[in-house]
Structure 1
C-alpha cells in the first residue's frame, strides 16, 4: 500500500568467517521493506577464496553492490506508470531473465577490470607479462544470489552455489533455484565463467495477495548448507528458523545468531552468510518447545547438527 509505515517484511543478515580462513570472502546486503516505494532487496555473494581467485572478496563485494543497483532499477520498472501504464508481466519477465543478468555481468566485469587497472599484480612492476582479461576476471571469481520483492512480485536470481530458501504461508519449504545436478567437488558456476549471464537461474513468482506471498525467504552461502549431513537437515533448520521468528520474535533470533552461525562455520570450515526476510508477526510468545528444538538443531555432532544465521537490517555486512 502506498505510503504505509509498517514494513511488509522484517529483515536480518549476518556473516561469519570460516575456521582457519585468512579473511571472509562472503559479502551481503539487505535493504527495503517490501513496499512499492521501498522494495525489498536481498543479496549474498561468495568469493571462491582459492589462490587462483586471489581477489575474490573484492569480486564478491562488487557483485553485491552492482546487484543492488540493478535490483533497484528493476523494481522501479515494476511500478513505472507511463503513457501505456505499467510494463506487462511478460515484458518484465523477459527483462528479468535476459536483460538484468546481461547488465549485471557486464557491470561486474567492468568494475573488476577497472580495479585491476588501478591495482595490478606486483609482477607487472618487474616486467611480468600482462594477463588476458579472462585471467584477470578469474582472480575476482564469486557466486551470487539476489532477490527483489514488491507487494506484487517476487523474483530471485542465482549464479553458482548457495541456497535460496522459500517458506510458503502453509509452511512448505522449497529451494526453487537448486540446480538440476549438484556441482562436482569445489567446481561451481561463477561470475568469472565464460558467458556467465547465460548461467544465471531465475525464480519468478507474481504475488496475487499478501496472504499468499511467501512467509519467509532466505539467501545463504554454501558455508551454511555444507554444515549439514543431509539436505533434509538444512530444510529442517529453515523450518525451525521460521518457527522461532514467529514464536520468539526478531530480537530473540538476532541474539542467538552468533552461536548458530559460529557453529555452522566451524562444521563446514567455510565462511557462512545468511540474509532473511519474513512477514512481521504478532508479539512473540514464550514457548519452551521452540528453544528445545533450536537447541537440538544446534547440537554438538559435526556434520549432523543444524545451524542458523541472522543479523541486523543494515545495508551491508562483511564479516
Structure 2
C-alpha cells in the first residue's frame, strides 16, 4: 500500500513535488523541495523535474551496488538536461523576471547558469521488494523514517551539512555526494507491516510529528485525509509505503 500527498504552505504556492513508480520487483519513490528563493524562481518546476529524473534513472536498475552507484552519479545531469529542455520550450515571462529582482540581468547575460533558477533538493528511494533491500539517494534536507508498531526510526541523519541553514541542491556544480549519503542500503530490519515515510522538511515543522507518523502507519490509505486537515506553515509533501 502506498499513498502520496502534497500541498502548499501558508504562502499558497507549492514548491514541493513527489512521485513514485511501482514495478513487479521494486518501487521507486521520490520527494523534492524547491528552494523558493527569488534566485530560484522556477524551483517549483525544478522539484517536479527532479522527481521525474530520479524515477527515470532508477527505472531499470538492479540492486547491484555498482549499478546503483553509476546511476546516482547520473541523476544531476539527467535533471539538468530536463531543465534545459523545459527552459528552451517555456520562455521566461516578464512577471517571472520581475520575481528574480537583482538577479535578472545576471541570468540574461548568462553569468548565472539557468539551472540555478530551478534549484531543488531531492530524496529518492528504491525498495527492492523480493530482496528486501532499500537504496537511498539524498541531496538536501529530505527526511526518511521507518515506523514500526512501537518504534519510529529516522534512517537519515537530521543534519548532514554542517549547518541547519545550509541546504545542498541539485543545481550545485560540481555536485559532491558525501560518504554518508553514498549508496546507502538498509538491508536489515525491514519487516512486513513496517511503513517507510519520505517527507520534505515541512513535516518537521509540526511539534506532534511523531503522533502524525504513527497515525499514518495505522492508516496509510487515509493519509491524505489526515494531512489535508493539518494547518501547515511550510509546504508539506509525504509518501508513505507499507512494506
Normalised TM-score (structure 2): 0.81
User: Is there any run of 5+ residues in structure 1 with no aligned partner, and where?
Assistant: 1-9, 79-91, 280-319
Cross-structure match for 1:271: 235
| CA pair 103-197 structure 1, distance change in 2 beyond 3 A | farther
**C-alpha distance in structure 2 between counterparts of 1:118 and 1:197, whole Å:** 29
CA RMSD after TM alignment: 2.7
**C-alpha distance in structure 1 between counterparts of 2:44 and 2:174, whole Å:** 21
Task: Verify the 8 A CA contact 2:3 2:221 in the aligned structure 1.
Answer: no
3-state SS in 1 of match to 2:60 = helix
**C-alpha distance in structure 2 between counterparts of 1:45 and 1:93, whole Å:** 23
* Bigger-Rg structure (1/2): 1
**C-alpha distance in structure 2 between counterparts of 1:251 and 1:120, whole Å:** 40
Residue 164 (structure 1) aligned with residue 138 (structure 2) = no
**Residues 164-190 of structure 1, C-alpha deviation per residue, up to 9 Å, x if partnerless?**
11125x6432222223456433x3001
Cross-structure match for 1:223: 202
**Residues 55-91 of structure 1, C-alpha deviation per residue, up to 9 Å, x if partnerless?**
10111111111111112121xx34xxxxxxxxxxxxx
Normalised TM-score (structure 1): 0.63
**Cα distance, 1:270 vs structure 2:** 1.3
Residue 148 (structure 1) aligned with residue 126 (structure 2) = yes
| CA pair 227-172 structure 1, distance change in 2 beyond 3 A | closer
Cross-structure match for 2:227: 257
Out of 20, 28, 31, the position equivalent to 1:30 is 20
More helix by share: 1
**Cα distance, 1:100 vs structure 2:** 1.7
**C-alpha distance in structure 1 between counterparts of 2:93 and 2:139, whole Å:** 31
| CA pair 26-223 structure 1, distance change in 2 beyond 3 A | same
Task: Verify the 8 A CA contact 2:8 2:236 in the aligned structure 1.
Answer: yes
Cross-structure match for 1:174: 153
**Cα distance, 1:254 vs structure 2:** 4.2
**C-alpha distance in structure 1 between counterparts of 2:78 and 2:176, whole Å:** 11
Task: Verify the 8 A CA contact 2:15 2:34 in the aligned structure 1.
Answer: yes
**Cα distance, 1:251 vs structure 2:** 4.2
Cross-structure match for 1:48: 35
